[in-house]
Structure 1
Amino acid sequence: MNLGQFLRILRARLWLVCAVVVVVMAAAFAVSVVLPQKYSAETALVIDAKSADPIAGGMMPSQLMASHIATQVDIIGSERVALRVVELAGLERMPQFREQWQEATGGTGELRAWIGAVLRSRLEVKPARESNVIRVRYTASQPEFAAMIANTFAKAYMETALELRVEPARQYAQWFDERTQGLREELEAAQKRLSDYQQKHGIVSADGRLDVETARLAELSSQLVQVQGQRAESRSRYSQAGAAESLPEVTQNPLIASLKAELARREAEREQMLGRLGPNHPEVGKLAAVIASLLQRIGAETQRVAASLGSSSRMSAAREAEVAAAVQAQKARVLQLQQHRDQISVLQRDVEGAQKAYDQVAQRLSATSLESQAQQVNVAVLTPATAPMWPSGPRLLVMLALALVVGVVLGVGSALLIELIDRRVRGEDDLAGLPGVPVLGSVPGSRWGDRVSRARVSSRTAGVY
């Protein structure tokens, strides 16, 4: 079938197409008149997700903004929000809803759940493009009811969003509170162990006392080295006691030096007297006695100095032993203080670790407690819903336009279907498709221009009717 044949069929069946279009449009008009009018009320919510959280202080990354908005859309259309709307609006106490529930379910199931499902079926939630605005639209047969339910959905969503934020914070706050009590007990126990250890050993500041004792040990060690040097020197001098005259203590002794000077003077006098008076002179003998006395005194004083060297050596040995014992005792005291300091360091680290854990948990407890008491969410009503003045449906013009399109399609389809059932020759193109049927001629039609008269041509004879 070409375009010419198609147009000739439509021209021949135009009355059928028009009849079908009229019937369909009439039916659409009747349906529009019969169907109850519907009103749609819309409220707009703005989600402030770009501002910093006043409690946690963080900001939502821009990459998560789209998923956050989609999550809020799902929350608004959730069953939990619908049940909250039923509770806030008191719909389960309305007789008309109870009657509809009885008719629809026969009294089976829960009334609140059924009303919530009905509300969700008439709810439309759409996020605005490239913005944080969410539009909540509800459709009902009464404009005031539609506006009330739309605003109630917004309120129920904000309360639910607050609950979803506060409930986990309350659970965490309770857990942190219990954990804080345990950590406080651990901190007090660690502090008590440190205090008991310091009281037991009489330690106020281990580091300061250790520094003092270490300095004292260094001083005693230097004294020990000095005493050991003195003892070695005394021992060396004492070993030379056999040649006492050559000892520095003897040669530098003023008494011995004066005695030796006196002895030298007396010996010089004796030599003079021997040359003048002779060895048997009484004065020479008297001078010899004086010289002998001086020699005896020098020897005695020399022995006394040598003996003092022995006493000094013994005193140096005793002093060395005393200082060495003090050094050993000081070393033991320093080592003990180092052990105390190490143990105190371990106990202090335990206290610091317990304090740090307690501070961290206490900080989290403060934040979660503050968050659990929050009464605000980052959602605000941008435009509340108002009772619409004009119905949103059924739309008569839209339905008539749609009926016109459907009627034309059905009319054309009906014309083609009838034409296929009752095939007729409406032009030379229809005869050209028949095998073995020549076309002898055509008679112009008087009604539709070049319309071809109905003709039948047999395989034996041809004629025009």
Structure 2
Amino acid sequence: MDFSQFLLIVRARKRLILLVLCLTVAVTVAVSLVLPKSYKATSTVLLNYKGVDPVTGITMPGQLMPGYIATQIDIIGSKNVALHVVDSLKLAQSPAVIQQFNEANNGQGTVRDWLADLLLKKLEIVPARESSVVEISFKGADPQFVAAVANAFAEDYQKVSIQLKVEPMRKATAYFSEQTKVLRDAAEAAQSRLSKYQQETGIVSLDNRLDVESNRLNDLSAQLVLAQGQLAEAQSRQRAAAGADSPDVASNPLIQNLKVSLNMAEGKFADISQRLDRNHPQYQSAKAEVDQLRAELEKQTRLTSSSIGSNAQILAQREASIRAALAAQKVKVLELNRTRDELNVLQKDVESAQRAFDATSQRMSQTSIEGQAEQSDIAILNPAVVPSDAYSPKLVLNTVLALVVGTALGLAMGLLAEMLDRRVRSDADLTDALGVPVLGTIDWNAKGRAKKKQPLLSRALQLN
């Protein structure tokens, strides 16, 4: 079938096509007029997801995720929000609604759940493209009711979003409050152990005391080295003092004077011994003087040697005492080092407990503020107003659609009728039906025959 044949069929079946079209349009108009009017109210909300919390100033990466708006749409269409709408509008308290619920469900379930499900069926949530604006629409037969429900969904969505954000913060605040008490007790216990240890050890300022004791240890070490040097020198002098050529003995002024006097007395005695007899008083006097000076010299030499030995003993005792003091000081410094290590451990325990307590307290304060914040990042941009015109049925749109559908249906019915009662509409139909070429046609249109001056009759020759 080509287009010309199709046009011929449409022309031949135009009455049927027009009848089907008129019936379709008439039925559509009648149904549109009979159907009850439905109204639609829309409330627009704005999702202010800037990424920063208005209370704490902390960045909220969850709102920056691509699925944030989809999540908010799911929250708006959740049963939780619908139940809040039922409660805020007090729909479950109406006796008529309760009666309808009993007739529909035979008393099974609750009125709130039943109403919430009905509201969600007529709710429509549409997000704007490339925008953070969301439209909340509700359809119904009462224009005031649909506006009230749309606004109630927007307002209760705000409340539910605040509740979803605040409740976890309140639970976290309670948890952090308990942890703060535990950490406070731990910090106080650590501080108590530190104070008790300081009292037991008598430590006020560990660093200064350790510096003093270390300096004292260094001083004792220097004194010990000096004492050991002096002792070694004294012992050498003591060994040398046993001989006659001891420098200490030789350098003694008294011994030098005694030696000079002894030399003079011996010279005098030698002179007298040559001139006088040993029984002479002068001889005996000179000899007695020599003996006395020699005895005095020996006495002073012994005394000098003895003093050198005593000095060596004194230096040895001093070196021993310094050595003992140095050993005791070493023990003291080591004890202070051990005490310092233990004190450092206790101080680190106190600092760690304090840091943990401070961090938990700060976090508890922050969560407490967040738990008490009633601010929402959702704003109602355009509240729903009572619609003046019905949303459906749309008579003009339905009529236009009925024209389109009726035309298509009429054409289909015309083609179906043509298929059931096939007729020859043109020479092409005749050729298709008989399978032979057409040599001529008779035009029965007189006006056209006169105009074109064609013969009244022409013979069609057909070849079988």
TM-score normalised by the chain length of structure 2: 0.90
The residue number in structure 1 matching 2:67 is 67
Query: Counterparts of 1:283 and 1:54 in 2: how far apart (Å)?
Result: 129
Gap change, CA 1:336 and 1:149, over 3 Å in 2: same
Gap change, CA 1:21 and 1:432, over 3 Å in 2: same
Stretches of structure 2 lacking an aligned partner (at least 5 in a row): 450-459
Contact 1:125 1:135 in 2 (8 A): yes
Gap change, CA 1:232 and 1:272, over 3 Å in 2: same
The residue number in structure 2 matching 1:286 is 285
Matches within 5 A, 1:53-452: 53-61=53-61, 64-246=64-246, 248-267=247-266, 269=268, 282-283=281-282, 285-436=284-435, 439=438, 441-446=440-445
Query: Counterparts of 2:228 and 2:92 in 1: how far apart (Å)?
Result: 107
Query: Counterparts of 2:262 and 2:9 in 1: how far apart (Å)?
Result: 177
Gap change, CA 1:63 and 1:364, over 3 Å in 2: closer
Gap change, CA 1:305 and 1:359, over 3 Å in 2: same
Contact 2:265 2:286 in 1 (8 A): yes
Query: Counterparts of 1:412 and 1:44 in 2: how far apart (Å)?
Result: 45
**Superposed displacement of residue 186, structure 1:** 1.9
**Superposed displacement of residue 253, structure 1:** 2.2
Gap change, CA 1:447 and 1:223, over 3 Å in 2: farther
Query: Counterparts of 1:231 and 1:436 in 2: how far apart (Å)?
Result: 151
Deviates more, 1:417-426 or 1:65-74: 65-74
Q: Secondary structure of 2:304's partner?
A: helix
Deviates more, 1:437-446 or 1:200-209: 437-446
**Superposed displacement of residue 208, structure 1:** 2.6
Gap change, CA 1:103 and 1:14, over 3 Å in 2: farther
Deviations 1:409-462 (A, max 9, x none): 100000000100011111101111124556464222439989xxxxxxxxxx98
Gap change, CA 1:141 and 1:194, over 3 Å in 2: same
**Superposed displacement of residue 96, structure 1:** 4.1
Deviations 1:179-230 (A, max 9, x none): 2222222222222222222222222233332222222122112222222222
Contact 2:51 2:61 in 1 (8 A): no
Gap change, CA 1:447 and 1:405, over 3 Å in 2: farther
The residue number in structure 1 matching 2:44 is 44
Gap change, CA 1:242 and 1:66, over 3 Å in 2: closer
Q: Secondary structure of 1:46's partner?
A: strand
The residue number in structure 1 matching 2:456 is none
Query: Counterparts of 2:297 and 2:386 in 1: how far apart (Å)?
Result: 140
The residue number in structure 1 matching 2:457 is none
**Superposed displacement of residue 103, structure 1:** 4.1
Query: Counterparts of 1:435 and 1:280 in 2: how far apart (Å)?
Result: 205
Q: Secondary structure of 1:343's partner?
A: helix
**Superposed displacement of residue 125, structure 1:** 1.3
Deviations 1:390-411 (A, max 9, x none): 2222111111111111101100
Query: Counterparts of 1:360 and 1:447 in 2: how far apart (Å)?
Result: 109
**Superposed displacement of residue 270, structure 1:** 5.2
**Superposed displacement of residue 165, structure 1:** 0.3
Q: Secondary structure of 2:433's partner?
A: coil
Q: Secondary structure of 1:385's partner?
A: coil
Contact 1:245 1:302 in 2 (8 A): no
Contact 2:210 2:336 in 1 (8 A): yes
The residue number in structure 2 matching 1:453 is none
Query: Counterparts of 1:266 and 1:350 in 2: how far apart (Å)?
Result: 89
Gap change, CA 1:199 and 1:228, over 3 Å in 2: same
Letter in 2 for 1:337: L
Stretches of structure 1 lacking an aligned partner (at least 5 in a row): 451-460
Letter in 2 for 1:330: Q
Letter in 2 for 1:74: D
Q: How many equivalent residue pairs? A: 452
Query: Counterparts of 1:87 and 1:26 in 2: how far apart (Å)?
Result: 44
Q: Secondary structure of 1:125's partner?
A: strand
Contact 2:237 2:248 in 1 (8 A): no
Gap change, CA 1:9 and 1:3, over 3 Å in 2: same
Letter in 1 for 2:25: M
Letter in 1 for 2:87: E
**Superposed displacement of residue 31, structure 1:** 1.4
Letter in 1 for 2:416: L
Q: Secondary structure of 1:43's partner?
A: strand
Query: Counterparts of 1:273 and 1:35 in 2: how far apart (Å)?
Result: 177
Query: Counterparts of 2:438 and 2:106 in 1: how far apart (Å)?
Result: 74
Gap change, CA 1:21 and 1:95, over 3 Å in 2: farther
Deviates more, 1:75-84 or 1:318-327: 318-327
Contact 1:244 1:306 in 2 (8 A): no
Gap change, CA 1:173 and 1:448, over 3 Å in 2: farther
Note the aligned Cα RMSD (angstroms). 2.6
Contact 1:244 1:303 in 2 (8 A): no
Q: Secondary structure of 1:243's partner?
A: coil
Gap change, CA 1:244 and 1:358, over 3 Å in 2: farther
Gap change, CA 1:374 and 1:63, over 3 Å in 2: closer
Contact 2:231 2:316 in 1 (8 A): yes
Letter in 1 for 2:368: S
Query: Counterparts of 1:70 and 1:259 in 2: how far apart (Å)?
Result: 123
Gap change, CA 1:287 and 1:183, over 3 Å in 2: same
The residue number in structure 1 matching 2:455 is none
The residue number in structure 2 matching 1:458 is none
